A and B are shown apart, each in its own frame.
Chain A
Amino acid sequence: MITQRRLALAWAFIVCLLVGHNAWLWLGQRIVPDTDILALLPLEKRDPVLQQSFTHMVDSAQQRVVVLVGAKDWPGAGRAADAYRKVLAPHGALLAFDAMSDDTQAGWLASLQPHALLLVGAVQERQLREQPAAYWKDDALARLYNAFSGPKLGSFRDDPFGLFAGWAQERAGETPVRPRDGRLFVAGEGREYVLLTYTLKASAFSLGAQDAVVPLLAQAADAARGAAPDADIITAGVMLHAAAAGRQASSEIHTIGVGSLVGIILLTWLTFRSVKPIGLTLLAIGIGFLGALSVCWLLFGQIHLLTLVFGASLIGVAQDYGIYFLCHRLRADPALGSTALLRRLLPGLSLSLLAAVVGYMGLALSPFPGLRHMAVFSALGLVFAWLTVVCWFPGLISGRTLRAGWLAQHYGKLIPRWPRVSAQPKSIGLALLLGAMAIGGWLQLTTNDDIRSLQSSPPELIRDQIKLSKLLDAPSPVQYFLVRGASSEEVLQREEALKRRLDGLVAQQHIAGYQALSNWVPSARAQAERRALVEARLLATGGPLALLAQEIGEDPQWAVDTAAYLRANARPLVIDDFMRTPAAEPWRHLWLGAVDVGGVRTHASIVALRGLRYASLPLLAGAAQNLDGVQWVDKVGGISAVLGSYRATMGWVVLAAYGVVFAVLFPRYRGRTWRVLAPTAAASVLTLAVLGYAGQPLQLFHVLALMLLLGVGVDYGIFMQEDDSVGDDAPWLAVGLSAASTILSFGLLALSGTPALRAFGLTMLVGAALVWLFAPCFSVSKDSKHATPDLV
């Protein structure tokens, strides 16, 4: 008794340390779990430049809310847009309108004027190489005489051959959006739209901001529809997806969460006539969680959200220890002290902890940091929860604390009548039948690791997103080329090499176009080439300018003066200078600039693709081949690949864990060891078959659930095999209570709208139910345990 009290006090001291450390971490340090799925990649596969390119692409979009307000005609669209803006105008501190100043409109080309001679579009550059002087003379003449000669910048003298205008037109062609009456205009699908963009002042993931902004947007949309009844309002933004996910999660917490809580309370009441056991179980799990987090943080210095979520759920196994103790306490003679009872149960409890810890440690052998963290987190969590049960429960629960409820009285009667596995024909036939069913299901099992199948945003949001991307001809933020070089000049030259390949794909309509900084700032080499070309083809003595002078009756000096005038606008354009101009604003995210990688300065940029077709992805991946410093990036594919390799690795780890657990259990159970594992193994096999029949492709979250199933299933196996001389049906009661709680807490996630949770929940629901059903089948009934030797 004395030792037990000392243990409890020592444990209380440790728990105080844990609580203190956690309070310091969360409240003092304000630690935030890592959420980037690619951070789960093995370390050697990570690439700082690539990571930074993701940040550049995502950050440029994350805080933005983009709205298209459309109507059948432009005035209607304008009215609707004004009504929309009016509703949001008073809320500038929350959602700031990105106004476009008239100066920006007029001034963006002015900043490029000093470089005009060097800025030549692709088509005209080809024509410069091919066409004779007479062609350019005629071209300039037409420009001279025509009243409305198409695109034109400045005076005739600024751009006699229309090269700068042609280049500017090419750049404008990179987006279908045009300023019109001080608004931004885009047309499509028989409507004219006003484009409004807003910047969110709070984080897109802040719940407070979401609660405030979403109703405002709805109100603004109503106002717009009021101003133009045929208005079409398309809204997109990361925040809307985050808000939808939040809404779904909170509504699920209300339904699933409340359902499972009520279920567990009811279950406990009916068993123990008290809800105290729930508090105790939660206490054990909570301490397990805090302990695991503290030690993991000390070990790794960071924690990933996925580790936290699955680690926490794996600690769910810890409820079994508490329930095992409580059920035996209920059935044991009240005169028997709790400490003595615990001592009797200790072998089974220790073994079940050892099996779980050893099993999870298998995860630690994988090369994936996420799985390693998960293994350590879960194992530590179990140890802490287990210690809580061992150190505190005897002191908290005395022999008279619990009384058998209705469930405890009646449930036990089921066990003697339960079918047992035996060599009888009936039993073998049933096994064969189940085996055949399992094979049938397995044959239909497929896998799908595509991250997009985990997408759970509401369809109308996705529809809006697609429509908006199409109308705005926006580039894909997750598929692009990453270009690197030792200097910015090398990056630009490599971009140009890549663009020559992409031009072929544009011609074949695999992509609509590309966005790259080198479109705006050609490499110094390309600028020098163009300068030489313009000199030779247009400005040379006796060239098109001289011919033009003759034709319009100006003296030869005019040609000389004009050439000199044009040469004054041939200052080489440098990327750093360009980045300071207003024209660079929309393209800033494409330029990563100098990135420090292990002490080496690398320059990098992004070439983004418009009008990407999914079927063309392999072709695009091929376009980067044999180009120095050019890398094809497909983040969707990358995340899917991470999920896929985690799934595969995890699958092997589950299999290996069975082997390891078998080895751990063997010294105690010898010939009966298979009986401990068989219910879980059979349940897992059949669960996979059910998934096959249900047409659910296998993914990481199913396999993670199988790992948890192994954890809880082995406990049930051990409970059923342990000597039950303390109380007749205590193990059976513990298994039933544990399984029911598992189903209520994890299995109900099968009702979730989030695909990952649904997959996890469905596996747990079917699996835990099957283990529950199978566990008694493999137990040895009291008489046979002593009378006959083991079947194996």
Chain B
Amino acid sequence: MNKILLSLVLIFGAMSAHAAAPIAQIQAMLAKPDQLCGRFDQTKRLAGMKKPLVSTGRFCVVAGKGVLWRTLKPFPNTLRLKRDEIIHMQGDRVAMRLDASQEPTVRMINGVLFSLLGGDLGQLGSLFEVNGSVTGQTWKVDLKARSAALARAVGAISLEGGAYVRAIQMNEESGDKTDIVFTDIKTGPGAVLPEEAAQL
């Protein structure tokens, strides 16, 4: 019966958190606020498609609560990540709900996304080879998946920023590319809008 366990492999890749990366300088530059919200502009270039897909919206990262990712244009669509669940809302309809009791990797995925958006490089070191460079007040980091499974799932990731993460680039093995740029970043108690606080 235990053979069953051996080769069943998750879809999301394997994720975890330990061992800090030697990126102390960048770590020191990052502000790591409790609450952080802002605007994102996302451009996806997908294999087999001529036109890029552009979307914009707002995002919030709240320590201890989770991540809210609200696509506003071209149509509303919300992704909410909490410690134990991932909920995907299309308008008011729950399009997908995944919780840790059905899918044990939910916590790990959420941990990684939280680290990505917060620029928490120490948490990412166990999963990715982290290579960084600092130029003045800005830094750039390349993440290369340590396992083939994770590489297949997320591809190569690079982050840019200063006190906060300003841009994320994801190049998947399949040829799909995603660029996300963050602007209007606000921190502190006023950052989270009331409607967002209600959703988190």
Interface residue ranges, A against B (CB under 8 Å): 57, 60-61, 64, 66, 74-75, 78, 98, 100, 102-106, 108-109, 138-139, 141-142, 144-158, 165, 168-169, 171-182, 184-187, 195, 197, 472, 474-475, 477, 515, 552-554, 558, 561-562, 565, 582-583, 585-589, 608
Contacts and interface: CB of A to CB of B under 8 A. Distances in A.
A75 B147 CA distance: 18
Question: What range describes how many residues of B lie at the interface?
Answer: 35 or more
Given A100-B7, A169-B103, A182-B14, A474 B46 contact: no
A179 B9 contact: yes
Given A144-B53, A145-B77, A187-B104, A586 B88 contact: no
A138 B172 contact: no
B170 to A, nearest CB: 8
Nearest to A474: B1
Given A106-B148, A185-B104, A558-B49, A153 B7 contact: no
B198 interface: no
A356 B48 CA distance: 89
A552 B54 CA distance: 10
Interface string B15-30: 1111000000000000
A172 B10 CA distance: 6
Contact of B8 (A74, A155, A177): A177
Most B CB within 10 A of own CB, among A147, A177, A472? A147
A155 B16 contact: no
A589 B3 contact: yes
Contacts of A184: 5-6
Contacts, number: 192
Contacts of B6: 98, 100, 104, 184, 197, 585-586
A349 to B, nearest CB: 57
B138 interface: no
A472 B3 CA distance: 12
Nearest to A187: B104
Given A100-B7, A554-B50, A565-B48, 8 more contacts: A144-B53, A145-B53, A146-B77, A172-B8, A174-B4, A175-B4, A180-B16, A586-B5
Nearest to A76: B18
Contacts of B47: 155-157
Contact of B4 (A182, A186, A515): A515
A150 B96 contact: yes
B48 A178 contact: no
Contact of A105 (B9, B51, B90): B9
Given A102-B148, A586-B8, A146 B2 contact: no
B46 A157 contact: yes
A158 B17 CA distance: 31
Given A154-B174, A157-B46, A179-B10, A588 B3 contact: yes
Contacts of B147: 102, 105-106, 181-182
Interface stretch (B67-75, B129-137, B158-166, B186-194): B67-75
A155 B174 contact: yes
Contacts of B90: 138-139, 142
B103 to A, nearest CB: 7
B117 to A, nearest CB: 10
Contacts of A151: 11-12, 98
Given A155-B175, A157-B47, A554-B50, A148 B148 contact: no
Nearest to A98: B6
A60 B49 contact: no
Interface string B142-182: 00000111011100000000000000001010111010100
B200 interface: no
B197 to A, nearest CB: 21
